Copies of this chain bind each other. A is one copy, B any other.
Amino acid sequence: MAAQYAGWALKVKSAQGEFFAMGSGPARALRGGEPLFERLEYRDQADVAVLALEGRRLPPEEAAEKIAKKCNVSPDCLYLLIAPTASLVGSVQVAARVVETGLHKMLEVGFDISTVLSGLGTCPLAPIAGDDLHAIGRTNDAVLYGGRAWYTVRADDAQIEEIIEQLPSSASRDYGTPFYDLFQCYGGDFYEIDPLLFSPAEVSINNLTSGRTFHAGRVNGEIIQRALLA
C-alpha cells in the first residue's frame, strides 16, 4: 500500500496547461502526503525517488520539480516512468495491483490491514482499448470481475466474519455494469461511483490464529467477456 498502490493524484500547472496523472511506486512513501500514510504509520527516507505515472503526455519540468521537492530529493535523483492506460504496460500495471485493490477495500470497510501478513492474487490482463477512457474501464473491469486475491492475516475470526461479505466487488450497489458504462451513467463524474465497488471479484482470507479460511465473491466470466472483448 505504501508503494505499489496508485495513491498520488498528481496535478501540476505548467506553461503547457495542467498536467494530471496518477502516481504509484516508492516515491509515495518519501512524500507521505496521502491520508493513507497516517493509517499505515509508514514513511521512507532516501536520496533517490522513483514514481510510475499513468498518463499519455510526458510530464513537464514543473512536475518533476514538484515531485522532487515533495520527496525531498534533488531533481537529478528523481526517476519518472510513464505509460498510458491504453498500452500493454497500462494493462499489466493495473492487473498487478489486484492485491492492493483488496487491501484498499479492507481499509474502506474498516478492517485493520496491519493484521495482514501476506497476499497474493491473479487478474486477467485487459486487452488494450482504443483510447485511455475505455482502457480505464477495461482495466478496472479486469479487477472487479476477474480479480482474485488471497490474504493471510492474524486477527479474530469475528473481525473477518463481519467484513468478508463486503470485500468483493459484488457487495457494491454498482456491481454488474461495465465500468465505462457506469462512468457515463454518472455523467463522467468518477467520484459518484460507489467507492465500495473497487475490489477484486473474489477474496479469501486465511486466518492464522484459527486456521480458518473465509471466502466471498466469484469471478464473473459473463461480464469479463462482455466488457473486455467488446
Contact = CB atoms under 8 A, between A and B. Distances in A.
Interface of A: 86-88, 117-118, 127-131, 134-135, 152, 206, 208-213, 215, 228-230
A116 to B, nearest CB: 12
Contacts of A211: 86, 127-131, 134-135
Closest 8 pairs (CB-CB, A-B): A130-B211, A129-B211, A127-B206, A127-B213, A130-B210, A213-B229, A128-B208, A88-B118
A220 B230 CA distance: 25
Contacts of A135: 211
Contact of A88 (B117, B212, B213): B117
A228 B117 CA distance: 19
21 contacts: A86-B208, A88-B117, A88-B118, A88-B152, A127-B211, A127-B213, A128-B152, A128-B206, A128-B208, A128-B211, A129-B211, A130-B208, A130-B209, A130-B211, A131-B211, A134-B211, A135-B211, A212-B230, A213-B228, A213-B229, A215-B229
Given A128-B208, A135-B211, 5 more contacts: A88-B118, A127-B206, A128-B211, A131-B211, A213-B228
Interface of A is mostly: loop
Contacts of A230: 212
Nearest to A130: B211
Contacts of A127: 206, 211, 213
Interface centre among A87, A206, A229, A230 (most CB of B within 10 A): A206
Nearest to A135: B211
A173 to B, nearest CB: 28
Contacts of A215: 229
A99 B89 CA distance: 19
Nearest to A204: B127
Contacts of A86: 208, 211
A146 to B, nearest CB: 15
A62 B46 CA distance: 42
Contacts of A210: 130
Contacts of A128: 152, 206, 208, 211
A121 to B, nearest CB: 13
